[in-house]
Each structure stands twice: as structure tokens, then as C-alpha cells.
Amino acid sequence: MRRGFIGGNWKMNKVLQEAKETVENLNKSLIFSRGIDIVIFPPYTLLFFLKDLIDLPNMYLGAQNMHWEENGAFTGEISPLMLKDLGVEYVIIGHSERRTLFGETDEIINKKLISALKHGLKPVLCLGESVEERKKDMEKEVIERQFKQDLRRVPINFLENIVIAYEPVWAIGTGLNATPNEAEEMHKFIRTLVEKYANDNIVEKIRIIYGGSVRVENVEELSLKEDIDGFLIGGASLRADSFSKIIEIFNEVKGF
């Protein structure tokens, strides 16, 4: 059985005091489950302060982005060495907000992915189609293109360190989640891509999580799907009570 994965992507939210309170509340309210990795992805400015506050053996720190180079003249960027230095274990690569608002191409995402793996960071690679692409029934084509280009030249033995997040752009921050069947169909499709481009051993190991308007109200029905191994949560991860509740429901449904 694959381990569960629940990520809280805080995006550009919280100053230090709010972040400390959230983590302290998470320490109190989160149930310990051996079968789930819980990762919070705060803004860069908070990573240093939160590292020592996390007080759960299965809770880790992640970053929302990184540059692919180790150092150099890249004003405003953060390198994988800097993230490692702070005790960061995971990094989100290719979030749709990075792709659409900051012009990240599959080529850039591929460089970041390879660099993260080389530095021992575990990437959470986000894939997802836009609303226009879904309307034209192009979602599988788009995901296959992103998958192939983003994972180009990634050694097969590294693949199991990657978590793939299926995040349809039309479901992010809109309150409109993919139905459990829509999500499951895409997760199964992504698993066939892993089989096609990698090999059988990895197919069963790689974790594919869903992101897009996950809330306390819809997490149970999504968790019931076999190929949904967890979630990447935006809005509902900002409050310790909703984030903890989501994890509790997921844990119960999956029976970890």
C-alpha cells in the first residue's frame, strides 16, 4: 500500500505570528498516523522559523518553488542548496500559478525537477489542464505533454521520489472541485503514463495526489478513490482546524 500524502500549500499567505500559531495548533490537533506524510509549504520567509516548531514525526517542511542553479547572479531567486540548508525536504515544482502567472515553461520545470532530485529534495510536480483545454476534451493530451516534457531525462530510479499532483486549473481556488470520478480517471491515466514511460515497479509506488478546492465537505468522497493517494490543499490548509479535519477523514477512509 502506498503511503498517503497531504500537503498544505499556503501560497503567499501568513506573516510570522500567524504562521507560528497555525503550526502550534497543528501540533495539538493533528492525529499521528504512520501511513501519511504531512507537508506544509509556507512562503520562503517563514521556513527558517517554522522548522523547529514542527513537533510531529510525520510532518515535514516544503518550499513552494526554487531556482535550478546552486548560486549565482539570479536576483530574487532561492536555490536548492538554500532550501536544504533550512531543513526543507519537499519542493513544489510547476504549480499552475507559476506556469500561468510567472511564465514557467515545461523546459524550466524540467530543469527545476532534475536539480531538486540531484540535491535530495523531493519534488511535488503539478500537472493540470486549463478550463479551455478541458472544454475541448484535451485534458489527457495536455497532461501527457506536460508529463513527457517535465520528466525528460529524469533517471527512472529517481521517479519514486516524486509526488505527482493532478491539479486541474479550473478547480484551483474556485470552489469547483473535480468530481471523484473525473479525478480518478485522470489519476489512472497518469499511472498509465508512468507505466508507458518508466517501468512496472514504479507504477505501484508513485504517489498521485489531487489538488483543487479540496475541503472538509468533499474530502471523504475523493479519498474513497483507489488512485487518489492524497491531496495538495490551498485555502483549506490555512486554518489548522480544517487542515487537521481533512487529514483525519482521509486517514479514516484509507484505513492507515
Q: Which residues belong to the active site?
A: 95, 167
Q: Is 250 exposed, middle or buried (0-12, 13-18, 19+ CB in 10 A)?
A: buried
Q: Which is nearer to ligand 13P, 127 or 232 (CB)?
A: 232
Q: Which lies closer to ligand 13P via its Cβ, residue 64 or residue 79?
A: 64
Residue closer to ligand 13P, measured from CB, 161 or 218:
218
Q: Considering the complex, what minimum distance in angstroms separates the CB of residue 100 from ligand 13P?
A: 12
Angle at 98 between CA 50 and CA 129, to 5 degrees: 120
- Taking CB atoms, the residue at the shortest distance from ligand 13P is 234
Residue 214, judged by CB atoms within 10 A of its CB (0-12, 13-18, 19+), counts as: buried
CA distance 220 to 247: 10
Q: Report in angstroms how near the CB of residue 214 gets to ligand 13P at its nearest.
A: 5
| Interface residue list for ligand 13P (CB under 6 A) | 9, 95, 167, 172-173, 211-214, 232-236
State which residue, 96 or 202, has the beta carbon closest to ligand 13P: 96
Q: What are phi and psi of 163, to 5 degrees?
A: -105, 130
For residue 153, what are the CA distances in angstroms to 110, 117, 144, 161, 198? Answer: 9, 12, 15, 15, 11
Which one-letter amino acid corresponds to residue 18? E
Shortest distance, CB of residue 156 to ligand 13P, whole angstroms?
A: 26
Q: How far is the CB of 116 from ligand 13P (least distance, A)?
A: 17
